[in-house]
Structure 1
Amino acid sequence: MTYQGVLTKMQTEMGNPIQYYLVFEDSFLNMNQLLNKEIEINFMGYQCLNCSKKKKIFRQGFCYDCFYSSPAVGDWIMRPELSTAHLGIADRDLEFEQKVQLQPHIVYLAAASEIKVGVTRKTQVPTRWIDQGASQAIAIVEVPNRYLAGIAEVALKSHYTDKTNWRKMLQNATETFDLIKEKEKVESLIPAEARDYFYSEKNDLYELQYPVLNFPPKVASLNLDKTASFQGKLIGIKGQYLIFENGTVFNVRSSEGYVVTIDV
């Protein structure tokens, strides 16, 4: 059976294991049901997620023009400490930025390849951690806006990474960490502006199980711009990656805006 559409990041549902869905405009695939089966991915073209024009994707599913004009991909997305909506100052579109920035945000520690610190909107828990392929995660601060979360994250970056080593994550080459103990260490590191929001009594540890039959000893990333057609046996899904038997991995999220057919 053939499915065709524009790639967007896989939708997820918390479970044991996590359930993954690839959603197109007129159809969807439960990716868990394709484990241990051959699938074929064919690149057909591009469609910008913002303007819907068939223009080459530049970054994050957006064409070049939209990437540098849309408020949905302002610098404050990747660097929350640059948020200014709480001051009434616009970056690209104050109404949009107030809607996103002026809501509860979580600063967290997550174990993926190693312990990392990160920021997410409260409404994106636990989706954000699933998308990163974290095996465990714990919230450490809940603040009322993105700026406060950003300055707390910056303070913790000198002690923890803010990146996931995707190769180690997909090979399951990770250590065992005690995130509750790690959380206890960081309260004094939080800036004074955000310290009152520290979760001093709350220790809700999330444990995340992924649908992976086997972890490959080596991984190589599939790039649809270089390899327009790929066929392989799906053996796992972790983060936003499809993992194939031969060690090929496909990052669905980094391929947002690509039009594909998928034969199953």
Structure 2
Amino acid sequence: MTTARCNLTCPYCWGPEHSIKDGLNLDQWFVLIASLRNKGATDLCVTGGEPLLREDVGSLMLATCALGFRVTLSTNCLLLPEQLTLSVNVLNYIHEIGIPIDGSSAIVNGLLRIGNTGSFDAALAALALIRSDYPSIQTTVRTVVTQQNQGDIPNIGRLLTQNRPDRWKLYEFTPIGYGLLNHAQMAIDTSRFTDIVAAAQAEFPDLNIEPQYSSRQSEKYLFVGPGGDFYAIGRNMEYVPLGNPLEIGERVIANIVRYFPQSK
């Protein structure tokens, strides 16, 4: 998470509080990602907040790519057009982009992507741009399935058959971060989520649809916060702190191995 700052306030967000400052400077990020690469990490997702709010994010992506990471950018796409005018354009240094589309129209999408009415058009424009000008970048559309948009999933599928991404990930609502506060108003039963996924896969067999279950997020991802703090998601959907290498050094690696024994 390069920054906690964001230009949207999505009610299902499971990122950190948006009031947290960026924390690490560029040099500190260079040291941190080099350390991760030296320890065998191969895949890195640059996210936030909204990562493109950092003016130096292009330089960070360049360095990350140069180290040999497979780099994914997770962005709401609102600031993506500005990147095309920069000498260090993030799109030249990523392998995959995550594009959020939570409705088949600006109205439905706006129920979940709150803070800018242009987020729907920005996402579709980004999908078209990548497909036409950056075909080597894998496109993944991400949809969080909630009470508000569950009936619109077939319409989103029809929209995506016209703007075909490489993958369409359907996410079960995850009760963590802002999502914990809005759980009762937004979450649907896992059985209902499973039925929605199955129906979408049956109706749109040509779309590469991947369900992402909330329960499977636990102990799956290693996060690095804006200040360099490492943490995971526990079995009870809580953040589990693993330490900050700038404060406790190599002991962070030991904590990671204990929590993720498969990382040995």
Q: Same fold (TM over 0.5)?
A: no
TM-score normalised over the length of structure 2: 0.31
TM-score normalised over the length of structure 1: 0.31
Q: Which of structures 1 and 2 has the bigger CA Rg?
A: 1
The structure with the greater share of residues assigned to strand is 1
